[in-house]
Amino acid sequence: MKTGIFICHCGHNIKHTIDVKKLSQYFKKYPNVTVSEDYPFVCSEPGQDMIRESIEKQGLDRVLIASCTPSLHGDLFKDLLKKSDLNPFLLRRVSIREHCSWVGDDLEINTEKARRLILAGLYSAAHYVPLEEKVVEVTKSALIVGGGVSGLSAAAFLSKMGMQVYLVEKEAELGGHVRALKNIWPARKDGKEIIDEMVAELAGRKNVEIFTSTTISAFEGFFGNYEVTLATPEGEKKMTAGGVIVAIGFAPFDPIVKPELNYGKDERIITTLEFEERADTLQLPENPRIAILHCVGSRDEQIGKPYCSRVCCINALRVGEAVKNKCKDSYVESFYMDVRAHPRGGEEYFEDTQEKGVLFTRANVAEITPTPAGLVIRGEDTLFGEFFEREFDLVVLSIGMSPPIDNKLMATLFKITLDKDKFFLEAHIKLRPFDTAVKGIFIAGSCSGPKDVEESINHGRASAVKLFGFLNLGYAFVDPFISSVDPKRCSGCRMCETACVAKAIKFDEAKRVVHVEEAACMGCGLCNSTCPSSAISLKGSIDMMIDDEISALTEAI
């Protein structure tokens, strides 16, 4: 066996707390190790060339790369092995950055931990065998869940590229929350106009099917051929989708959670969304006194919403501007924590609004008390450090974004993880911001965290591009990590058959042994750990690998 060990410095990230030189020297003495090198950036072009050259010159049959976590650059190194005519499943990645150099500060301790981790990888890799990836055909169709701006923009892109698109919307009308918005900054267009434009684009296309007032009743299968069952008003509908984009948006924060604001008890206290609707019909005195409260349902640890909702400052500015435009002599006061006018041009917009006469007071509002004469706001001015009490005719709460109502249901259906704020979690915040842990399932729009209209449209389109890349190939590789049965050892006790969730294990009555239906096997390894006679093993994670890994980690070998 000829193993090549390549230890990455990752610039200073690994080298800083792990003695990589010592490690590469140390592993040179191991009998099965042919090459042991350390390199500043193994993932770089020259780094890859070095590995390739070693494989070709030394005839390596195992490659161990000790660097970042296996999920990063996984495909990159796999491709590298493929290019060098080596089976990609003979690659072992050892995470010495996320699991070692970044979690400890002591050079000596970290070097020792890294040594053991690499050793475990080395012993485990000794049991690796070449595996063949299975190729499955991919249906060129996409299911898009949610007909808001991000869903619509994803649908527009995919259908333009010739994919069959199934757009599912829970409500009777497409457009989501954006439809209700007026004079959206910075485009200065009504939401309805934007939505109508997008819907019109889709309406002319034959490869788009839109289901409104529809929910998803069942979802199963694997990438390339997901089986979807929809509950439409006309009854149940079944279809096959190659991939999914989940764009279920957000739920507006409900200020009832904060009883001190008295929202819902007095009709003069409204949210920004209600203001959009009722702006023209509000009964106000001639020169109204209006208060705008920022950060309602955002940056508030007490109610479990520590995040910034990103859009509500601009919304608050829009309210102030709308009031000032309509009634120049009104008194408009904004109570803010910090004005975070996020998008490009937001800061200028903030200044414009100030120039129009909206007053900004940095304050913590403690309570709103409705009286017949007006709404009394009590709070603390955080710049002066003084308490204040002022009376207004109308209070507009600039509400933030809460996770969508269906988040848990959708997370279970599509196997998406929720983050700490209960939004959908992306596979990697920077490198894979549209992907989920499951292949072919993407997230778009504000269901993965607060986003404004522009960002949501971009996010939707970006997810669509990523999905298109997968679908357009027409085929996909499936990981060959499936179970196999050794019929000689199988005693026919059928324990695995009862345990298997995927129902991939079938009993052969004639031979009294079980066998695995490869297409159905999900690769969890439950049967492997259930089998009392060790007759089943999960490819890519066989008992011997894990046994040796444990031994190496505990220094028993």
Partner 1 sequence: MEEKTNKNPEIIGFACSFCTFKASEMAGSLRMKYPDGVKLVQVPCSSRVDPAFVIKAILEGADGAFVAGCHPGDCHFIKGNYYTRRKIAALKEMFDAFSMKDKLKLFWVSAAEARRFVEKVTGMYDEIKEKKNAGKKA
Measured from the CB atom, the residue of 95 and 315 that comes closer to partner 1 is 95
Measured from the CB atom, the residue of 359 and 437 that comes closer to partner 1 is 437
Q: Which helix (H) or strand (E) holds 438?
A: none
Measured from the CB atom, the residue of 217 and 369 that comes closer to partner 1 is 217
Residue 205 Cβ vs partner 1, minimum distance, rounded to whole Å:
35
| Residues found near partner 1 in the complex (CB under 8 A) | 69-71, 95, 97-100, 102-106, 109-110, 112-113, 116-117, 120, 411-412, 415, 417-420, 425, 437-438, 481, 499, 501-502, 522-526, 528-530, 538, 540-541, 543, 546-547, 549-551, 553-556
Nearest to 170 by CA among 142, 145, 143: 145
Residue 124 Cβ vs partner 1, minimum distance, rounded to whole Å:
9
Residues 397/261, Cβ–Cβ less than 8 Å: yes
Q: 536-538 and 483-485: which strand pairing?
A: antiparallel
Measured from the CB atom, the residue of 371 and 498 that comes closer to partner 1 is 498
Residue 447 Cβ vs partner 1, minimum distance, rounded to whole Å:
14
Residue 298 Cβ vs partner 1, minimum distance, rounded to whole Å:
19
Residue 101 Cβ vs partner 1, minimum distance, rounded to whole Å:
8
Residue 407 Cβ vs partner 1, minimum distance, rounded to whole Å:
13
Residue 120 Cβ vs partner 1, minimum distance, rounded to whole Å:
8
Q: 164-168 and 269-271: which strand pairing?
A: unpaired
Measured from the CB atom, the residue of 23 and 270 that comes closer to partner 1 is 23
Round to whole Å and give the CA distance between 155 and 460: 8
Q: Which helix (H) or strand (E) holds 173?
A: none
Round to whole Å and give the CA distance between 75 and 56: 20
Measured from the CB atom, the residue of 321 and 426 that comes closer to partner 1 is 426
User: C-alpha distances in angstroms, 422 versus 72, 197, 245, 252?
Assistant: 24, 32, 18, 14
Tell me which DSSP letter residue 213 carries: S
Residue 499 Cβ vs partner 1, minimum distance, rounded to whole Å:
6
Residue 226 Cβ vs partner 1, minimum distance, rounded to whole Å:
15
Measured from the CB atom, the residue of 114 and 513 that comes closer to partner 1 is 114
Q: Which helix (H) or strand (E) holds 516?
A: strand 513-516
Residue 34 Cβ vs partner 1, minimum distance, rounded to whole Å:
25
CB atoms within 10 A of CB 366: 14
Residue 167 Cβ vs partner 1, minimum distance, rounded to whole Å:
27
Measured from the CB atom, the residue of 94 and 358 that comes closer to partner 1 is 94
Q: 141-145 and 243-246: which strand pairing?
A: parallel
Q: 387 - beta bridge partners?
A: 380
Measured from the CB atom, the residue of 200 and 501 that comes closer to partner 1 is 501
Which pairs from 223-228 meet CB under 8 Å and 24+ separation? 223/136, 223/138, 223/438, 223/439, 223/440, 223/470, 223/476, 223/478, 224/136, 224/137, 224/138, 224/139, 224/440, 224/475, 224/476, 225/136, 225/137, 225/138, 225/139, 226/143, 226/440, 228/143, 228/166
Residue 56 Cβ vs partner 1, minimum distance, rounded to whole Å:
29
Residues 62/2, Cβ–Cβ less than 8 Å: yes
Measured from the CB atom, the residue of 70 and 357 that comes closer to partner 1 is 70
Round to whole Å and give the CA distance between 459 and 247: 10
| Reduced 3-state DSSP string for 189-202 | ECHHHHHHHHHHHH
The C-alpha angle with vertex 36 and arms to 32 and 40, in degrees rounded to 5, equals: 155
Measured from the CB atom, the residue of 207 and 541 that comes closer to partner 1 is 541
Measured from the CB atom, the residue of 106 and 227 that comes closer to partner 1 is 106
Measured from the CB atom, the residue of 151 and 224 that comes closer to partner 1 is 224
Residue 414 Cβ vs partner 1, minimum distance, rounded to whole Å:
11
What single string gives the DSSP state of each residue in 371-432?
-SS-EEEEEEETTTTEEEEEEESEEEEEE-EE--TTHHHHHHHHTPPB-TTSSBPPSBTTTB
Round to whole Å and give the CA distance between 504 and 498: 10
Structure tokens at 163: 């994919």
Tell me which DSSP letter residue 207 carries: T
Round to whole Å and give the CA distance between 62 and 75: 17
